[in-house]
Amino acid sequence: MNGFVRLLRIGAVALAAAAIAPSARAQSTPQPKPEMRRQCPGLVASQPALMPAALNVAALNPDQVRITFVGHATFEIESPQGVRIATDYNDFVRPPVLPDIATMNHAHLTHYTDNPDPGIKYVLRGWSDTPGKPKIWDLQYRDVRVRNVPTNIRDGLGGTDYYGNSIFIFEIANLCIAHLSHLHHTLTQQQLDDIGRVDVVMAPVDGFYTLDLDGMMEVLTALKAPLVIPMHFFNQAALERFLDRAHGQWDIERAAAPTIVASKSTLPAKPKVLALPGH
């Protein structure tokens, strides 16, 4: 077993304890499943300037976002003005190009680093060093807005690390993209409202280290994103378990390449799960 896989499995038994934090499924009396009451807050249609083709042969149109699955929970997201974001930036899985913005979460060493590259302009840690106090981000950089909605995670002893995880939301080119990171529980109505209805969601689908598949299906149903991109599934068998559950509720597509270009006008009419190669 190599060092990377061993790191991923540290504390597996403790982290598989019952999910903490607010969950509609934990109520003694059945409650209606919540869904968000508004669109992605703060999102305003804009027309950012095109990057000159001479400077970037792969320049995006003003309404497009490039998304590349780097691996595990790390994506590279690129805006029309060339801003690059790396999600769950860590020491093991990194995009080949240095990002302008790096987001992190505190669950494992494969989701954060204490030694980010000093060339990164903005390092956004999704947890607070003050116990019981959430870390709140709302960053505007060129044509990108990044904000977060804190959630809880299980700690290594089976307890609760309050506000130890953040769902980061990226508002780019009139798209609202949410990265759920190491989500351990279903979402409250307030959390759903703070997120807003998103266009693209990156969802951990391992069903064990993060939220179980029943809970993840509940979260994705509430978010109502037209496009779901699975991540954090370790191997093909885990991905297939999720796809089997999603089949029928969502269309399923398997991409041949790890990179897509998304825009509001090309979002699927019927909600779709798009599996990018990698794990």
Pick the CATH number of 3-17+57-275 from 2.30.30.790, 3.40.50.970, 3.60.15.10, 1.20.1530.20: 3.60.15.10
Cα separation values, 26 from 19, 29, 101, 153, 174, Å: 10, 9, 36, 16, 36
With a CB cutoff of 8 Å and minimum separation 6, the contacts of 17 are 154, 158
Q: Rounded distance, CA 251 to CA 247, Å?
A: 7
pLDDT of residue 22: 41
Per-residue pLDDT of the chain (279 residues; tens, 9 = 90+): 455 444 444 444 344 433 344 433 433 344 556 777 777 876 543 333 333 333 344 799 999 999 999 999 999 999 999 999 999 999 999 999 999 999 999 888 999 999 999 999 999 999 988 888 999 999 999 999 999 999 998 887 878 888 988 999 999 999 999 999 999 999 999 999 999 999 999 999 999 999 999 999 999 999 999 999 999 999 999 999 999 999 989 999 999 999 999 999 999 999 999 999 998
Q: Encoding tokens for residue 97?
A: 């190009």
pLDDT of residue 55: 37
Q: Tell me which DSSP letter residue 50 carries.
A: P
pLDDT of residue 58: 73
Q: Which residues pair with 82 in a beta bridge?
A: none
For the stretch 1-11, what's the b/e string if a residue is b when 16 or more beta carbons lie within 10 angstroms of its beta carbon? Answer: eeeeeeebeeb
pLDDT of residue 27: 38
Q: Rounded distance, CA 65 to CA 50, Å?
A: 12
pLDDT of residue 10: 43
Question: Cα–chain-centroid distance for residue 273?
Answer: 14
What pTM value is reported for the model? 0.84
What does the H/E/C string look like for 79-92?
A: CCCCCEEECCCCCC
What is the SS3 assignment for 10?
coil
pLDDT of residue 31: 55
Residue 16's CB is within 10 A of a number of other CB atoms, namely 13
